[in-house]
Amino acid sequence: MATENPNADGFGEVSRVRGILFEYLSFGASVFGLVALGVLLVYVAIDAFDLANASPEWLLTYFLTLVVPFLAFCLYSANDRDVTRRALVALGGGLVAVAVLFSAIEALLVPIPRLNWQLAYLFVVAAPVTAYLAYVGSRGRLGAVGFGLLGRLVGGVAVGLAVGTLFLVLDALLWFLAYTIGVLPAVGLYALGRVRSSPRARTAAAPVGLVGLTAAVFLRDVVATYPSDLIIYLWTIAIPVAAAGAFLVAGRRGRTAGAVVGGVPLAAATAGGFLAAGAGLPAPTVLLAIVLTGVPTAVYVSRVVDGGEGLAGLGLPLLLAAGAIAGALIVEALGVPAPNPWLDASFLTQAPSRTPEQAGLYPAIVGSVIIIAMVAVLSFALGVGTSVFLEEYTPESGALGTLTRILQVNIANLAAVPSVVYGLLGLGLFANLLGLGIGTAVTAALTLSLLILPITIISAQEAIRSVPDDLRRGSDAMGATRWQTTKNVVLPEAMPGILTGTILALGRAIGETAPLIMIGAATTVFRAPDSLFSRFSAMPMQIYTWAGFPQADFRYGVVAAGVITLLIILVGMNGTAILLRNRAERGS
């Protein structure tokens, strides 16, 4: 039979050359881009932390006290022999390979500026291997607990600082009144409505809250006494947060545990707040940072202790702190030359200065954080509102349908308008016409919101469109109104996608300089903004200004420190938003 088979010689061959060529070209292009970016970041980091002046002894000390214990923790948590072997081969082999390669290049080809093989090893081998092992280790039981605790500690401090920063410009007294006579009664009524399952109390919550908020605005100008800042934050933020934590734990582990979880951090925060004033620190910020770190940490620890698994992981923060202290002590004792980083505590807390050593980014950080917070809220609310209207409420045909299509095309075009043009619009519309002031924080926030609005709208529309029609029909058939379907089915399902779009758009807004220049934002301010209408500067503006200074220390060291700060804040904000999004994803 087989002899008659016309395919006895096989089926011939189909050329794949073009496909393979394309594959390697695109692979090469992306690798080139990534490597270029990586090299840039390495040099920026070397400048910011003055690593070029770090002696090998200094690097070795911290490697042994900080990095090695951390790696050991990750490997122990991963508990996988293969991973351990691979990590050791990478670290050991990398050490030899980098040293040989580096010496060879230096000796035979060209000297590599401001880089030695120890630093090359640090960036090329140690840092990636550490990151990989942190990832692998965090998936083990022990690591999950350790990194969870670390995340709450760092995240709590960051959120506390951010909230404290926001209150530099937001009116604390207004918030105090609004919370006391608006938010609190509304939330109370709503909770009561849920517990007693009485819809009337639940429906009453919103109007009661609104009336309270309005009353607060009027009362603001009437009330003469001002409770101290500390009391305001204690009453409006610390106590509710502690109560929420206590409530969470009390439900599972009983009243006493709940009281401890809520009470201890609250007491510590209050004490910290009162002591901070004496130490010359901003009391409200200290209070917020402690309570927002303490309560989530306490809830987390209580949960882990309850679960009884991976308890040793709780030691990770201690391990790292001990490593850092031990390293510092050894370096001090041996007297090895330590680098003098540009990016240090004083850089983050000082105002700009004429001398590079004293230059700081604080006012610009505050300006950026405030603007981004406002942009996030504004563009999210406007973006979701517009996209829900366009996707769920407008018909496809008829006059309104045509109008919608015209709107749609224009929104897509707006996304492509250069940002300078938005700056001009902000200058004309917000600064001049509405009189919000040239170079003020509100003007900047409104302008940037407008700038990223098309992107948020389009991505939110995309997310809403991807919700299956089956679900909408299911809800409609239950007798849900259009709004009920949107609120209960469409928005929860689309939320992860909407958040992804907003996160990407915010990333763009935080780095924008051109529109800020157009609306007259200051290049340098020496005091952090203290109201929405005060003049401000933003991180990218300040960095840009420094880059133009004649002194080399500014152009290299200070700019690099600024860039790293900007990147860290950006990554931190995106990371938080991504965590929130993942939670939304899991919740559905």
Partner 1 sequence: MSNSTTDDSLITTEVQTDSNDGRAAPAAGTAVAARDLDVFYGDEQAIDDVTMEIPEKRVTALIGPSGCGKSTFLRCINRMNDMIEICRVEGDVEFGGKNVYDDDVDPVALRRKIGMVFQKPNPFPKSIRDNVAYGLKIQDFDGDVDARVEESLKGAALWDEVKDQLDSSGLELSGGQQQRLCIARAIAPDPEVILMDEPTSALDPVAASKIEDLIDDLAEEYTVIIVTHNMQQAARISDRTAVFLTGGELVEYDDTAKIFEDPEEQRVEDYITGKFG
End-to-end CA distance of the chain: 59
Q: How far is the CB of 17 from partner 1 (least distance, A)?
A: 44
Q: Which is nearer to partner 1, 354 or 586 (CB)?
A: 586
Comparison of 68 and 478: residue with beta carbon closer to partner 1 = 478
Residue whose CB is less far from partner 1, 199 or 227: 199
In whole angstroms, give the CA distance from residue 459 to residue 499.
Answer: 9
Q: Which two tokens stand for residue 510?
A: 């935080």
CB of 307 to partner 1, least distance (A): 18
The 3-class secondary structure across 138-154, one letter per residue, is: HCCHHHHHHHHHHHHHH
In the DSSP assignment, the letter for residue 351 is P
- Distance in angstroms (rounded) separating the CA atoms of residues 286 and 274: 9
Contact 287, 272 (CB under 8 A): yes
Closer residue to partner 1, CB minimum distance, 92 or 398 = 398
Provide, rounded to whole angstroms, the least separation between the CB of residue 408 and partner 1. Answer: 17
One-letter amino acid for residue 221 of the chain: D
Structure tokens at 155: 């995240």
Q: How far is the CB of 403 from partner 1 (least distance, A)?
A: 15
Comparing CB distances to partner 1, the nearer of 157 and 471 is: 471
> Is residue 16 classed as helix, strand or coil in its secondary structure?
coil
DSSP characters over 290-317:
HHHHHHHHHHHHHHHHHHTSSGGGGGHH
DSSP 8-state code for residue 427:
I
Residue 392 Cβ vs partner 1, minimum distance, rounded to whole Å: 12
Question: Smallest distance from the beta carbon of 257 to partner 1, in angstroms?
Answer: 22
Q: Report which of 456, 453, 545 is spatially closest to residue 494, judged by C-alpha positions.
A: 456
> For partner 1, which is the closer residue by CB, 15 or 397?
397
Spacing of C-alpha 546 from chain mean position: 25
Do residues 124 and 94 lie in contact, with contact meaning Cβ atoms separated by under 8 Å?
yes
Binding site for partner 1 (CB under 8 A): 197-199, 395-397, 468, 470-471, 473-481, 484, 488-489, 492-493, 588
Minimum CB separation from partner 1 for residue 398, in Å?
A: 8
Nearer Cβ to partner 1 (436/489): 489
The least CB distance from residue 73 to partner 1, in Å, is: 34
For partner 1, which is the closer residue by CB, 42 or 201?
A: 201
> Contacts for 222-229 with beta carbons within 8 Å, 24 or more apart?
223/173, 223/177, 226/173, 227/176, 229/172, 229/283, 229/284
